[in-house]
Structure 1
Amino acid sequence: MTTRDTQSEPDRPLSRRQALAAGGSLLAGAFAGCIGDGAGGGQTTGDTTDDDGPVAVASFFSFYDFARKIARGTPIEVRNLVPTGLHGHGWEPNASITREVLDADAFIHVGEDFQPWADRTIQTLEDDDADTQLINVREGVELVDLAASLDPEEEGVGEGRAQDPHFWLDPLRAKQSVDNIAEGLVALAPDHESTLRENATAYKTDVLDRIDADYQRIFEAADRDVVQLAAHNAFQYVGVRYGIQMRPLVVNLAASGDVRPSDITEAKRVIDENDIRYIGAAVFETRRPAQQLLSETAVEAYYPVTPYAGVREDWVEQGWGYEEIADNINMPTFEVVLGNTAPEDVAIDGWNERWRNFE
């Protein structure tokens, strides 16, 4: 992954993560029994060899990516806590991740009731009166009702949450999270305010507005307004923004949610009634349901979709972020499943061969 150059601030006082280094490990050890055994260690951008700049850690890949783009040209180091290859929603970290948050200058998170481990970590920070700055990317974002994306019998999924948290799939709603991150990073490094705000403005205009325009073109060109996904219920915001029926196979919010026989039956009905030949399958979820639909319906192939919840090793090697994943994964798949483009005609070399019925 490409890393940016950093600048040093002269005579910077001892960072809070240095001051907490000894005590943080003790607190993290005490907290170990409250969280799972998942390994830690995601991507890092910035200077990792000294303590010249503040450190911001992110609980979710999309917002790590936004933050690293906003922080370019500043001494802020941004770290992704979610390990490569894992979905950021259902992941449960071990105590080392709690230690990283305790030692960081800022914690970028997705708001309450989305990542239970992040909620517990924030509670630990508050109980300990730690001075780690909290940056809630969801602050001020207009959410849609959760029930609108669920069958009536599934409305209890999510332990009482009334709204769908997956707002960042809508690039226009994602702009508010960019503003939230920028505000938090400005508070972290006020001497670099102009650079941070300029980077945030450029990202909203050059990336998110451009992605929105491309999505509009794709969905407006389609004759069909139904997309069948062998994936969990994370794509409602795309449907709401662009007037498309996103039909998830797993109707709850959990990426590891079980597929019921009734879910398969409903998917078969949608596929048959809409003459669907291609469906989307989630990159970080099991492909078994997609393979079942492939063998039991007229579907010819499945192609990848992702809610930007994690990254593969090859994506990291290529330096892919939210923008590149939109361009190389979600957009071409939507073109194909909507019937706009034949899979072999996707204008990315080797895309069909690489992603057709991928493992």
Structure 2
Amino acid sequence: MTRRDTLRAGGAAALAGLAGCTALPSAPRTASSDSDNGSDGPVAVASFFSFFDFGRQIADGTPLTVENLVPTGLHGHGWEPNASITQRIIEADAFVHVGEDFQPWADRAIQTIKSDDTDTALINVREGIDLVDLAATLDREEEGVGTQRGQDPHFWLDPRRAKQSVDNIADGFTEIVPEHADTFRDNAETYKADVLDRIDAEYEAVFDRAERDIVQLAAHNAFQYIGVRYGVQMQPLVTNLAASGDVKPADVREAKEVIRENDIRYIANGIFESQRPAQQLVRETAVEAYFPVTPYAGVREKWVAENWGYEEIAYNINMPTFEIVLGNKIPEDAAPSESWLKQWRNFEPI
């Protein structure tokens, strides 16, 4: 009997100390391209929504099922699961993760896999990707927390860097289901060309036609790669790397100065973050409204129902907001629909 078989039989109690004592999450979001096989075939679990989505695109047309471990409505960075998630990882054939020092619970699960010689394959989506240095706005107390040698881990917001993670996932899937290697690699090439290259080109067009070179974010420090790639300063309000970080009075004062000096009328706010700081800036500055952005780190129930992934979020959330906050278009012209504008202009907490 393998270690995985033992855990399936009820050995997960020994893992109870490896994760936070949060409530049981909702069932993982899954995607399988072969409904006849479903979860009876090989299974890969992902620690982060973006790479779950990449994985399901790569696995299309194969028996491999891909699951998202982060429950709907939660942000992937800062969430602490209970021991049942660690058990699910060990039961899976592969664990798709974002690399060390980003999700502590994932690091603990990886240590368990290595120390117990469990046969779950580890797929590091960050392998071989050049990271940029952390923005100067980083809270120095957090240096080394959620980072890798002082570098920003949010590389997937840059579609060009995201392409390497797609290749890493395809290579990992090939290791566990080698008979479908050609399909994995073909799907990866198609996704990179048809989705990531197109998003990159359209982002580039959006930022190229902007006269403004600074974006004020009522959000955490997750958008630096957008700024680095497209030549715009992404000014976060929350200076640490976690979406749950507190906003200090000094942060608000600095944001007010940026807004005043740059005549900013619209700002961006993280969907899965507090809206209170953005609401304060609307009240106390010339800002007229805030609109949504997300680092592709979580999903809402409606998005799950509509089968949204990285591509759909880029076009339906981030891109319209960047058009607005860059001053390219007024909200009425940038919004995909009247209902979008009604929902997202100064949106309420989720």
TM-score (norm 1): 0.91
Cα-to-partner distance string for 1:191-213 (whole Å, 9 max, x where unaligned): 11111111000000000000000
User: How far has the Cα of 1:309 moved from its partner?
Assistant: 0.3
Q: Does 2:338 align with 1:352?
A: no
Amino acid at match of 1:352: L
Question: Which of 1, 6, 13 is the matching residue for 1:29?
Answer: 13
Amino acid at match of 1:30: A
Cross-structure match for 2:116: 128
Distance 1:203 1:49, change over 3 A: closer
Distance 1:74 1:221, change over 3 A: same
Cross-structure match for 1:11: none
Q: Does 2:326 align with 1:338?
A: yes
Cross-structure match for 2:180: 192
Q: Which runs of 5+ in 1 are unaligned?
A: 1-13
Q: Does 2:105 align with 1:117?
A: yes
- Indicate the larger mover: 322-331 or 52-61: 52-61
CA distance in 2, matches of 1:201, 1:271: 42
Q: Does 2:31 align with 1:45?
A: yes
Which secondary structure state, in structure 2, belongs to the residue aligned with residue 107 of structure 1? strand
Question: Which of 255, 258, 263 is the matching residue for 2:243?
Answer: 255
Distance 1:317 1:204, change over 3 A: same
- Residues 138 and 177 of structure 1 are in contact (CA less than 8 Å); yes or no, is this contact kept in structure 2? yes
Which secondary structure state, in structure 2, belongs to the residue aligned with residue 250 of structure 1? coil
Amino acid at match of 2:157: L
Question: Which of 299, 317, 326 is the matching residue for 2:314?
Answer: 326
CA distance in 2, matches of 1:242, 1:149: 18
Question: Which of 164, 174, 186 is the matching residue for 2:152?
Answer: 164
Point out 4+ residue stretches in structure 1 off by more than 6 angstroms: none
TM-score (norm 2): 0.94
Which secondary structure state, in structure 2, belongs to the residue aligned with residue 86 of structure 1? coil
Question: Which of 181, 191, 195 is the matching residue for 2:169?
Answer: 181
CA distance in 1, matches of 2:212, 2:120: 48
Q: Which runs of 5+ in 2 are unaligned?
A: none
CA distance in 2, matches of 1:337, 1:276: 8
Distance 1:51 1:286, change over 3 A: closer
Which secondary structure state, in structure 2, belongs to the residue aligned with residue 92 of structure 1? coil
Distance 1:153 1:114, change over 3 A: closer
- Residues 229 and 280 of structure 1 are in contact (CA less than 8 Å); yes or no, is this contact kept in structure 2? yes
Instruction: Please give the residue correspondences for 1:230-269 in structure 2 after superposition, counting only pairs within 5 Å.
Output: 230-269=218-257
User: How far has the Cα of 1:135 moved from its partner?
Assistant: 0.2
User: How far has the Cα of 1:353 moved from its partner?
Assistant: 1.0
User: How far has the Cα of 1:347 moved from its partner?
Assistant: 4.9
Which secondary structure state, in structure 1, belongs to the residue aligned with residue 219 of structure 2? strand
Cross-structure match for 1:212: 200
Compute the RMSD of aligned alpha carbons. 1.8
CA distance in 2, matches of 1:81, 1:209: 27
Instruction: Please give the residue correspondences for 1:225-304 in structure 2 after superposition, counting only pairs within 5 Å.
Output: 225-304=213-292
User: How far has the Cα of 1:20 moved from its partner?
Assistant: 2.6
User: How far has the Cα of 1:305 moved from its partner?
Assistant: 0.3
CA distance in 2, matches of 1:267, 1:154: 20
Cross-structure match for 1:142: 130
CA distance in 2, matches of 1:217, 1:174: 19
- Residues 25 and 99 of structure 1 are in contact (CA less than 8 Å); yes or no, is this contact kept in structure 2? no
Amino acid at match of 1:239: G
CA distance in 1, matches of 2:157, 2:315: 13
CA distance in 1, matches of 2:231, 2:170: 30
Which secondary structure state, in structure 1, belongs to the residue aligned with residue 169 of structure 2? helix
Instruction: Please give the residue correspondences for 1:2-151 in structure 2 after superposition, counting only pairs within 5 Å.
Output: 20-24=4-8, 26-38=10-22, 39-40=24-25, 41-46=27-32, 47=35, 51-146=39-134, 148-151=135-138
- Residues 228 and 248 of structure 1 are in contact (CA less than 8 Å); yes or no, is this contact kept in structure 2? yes
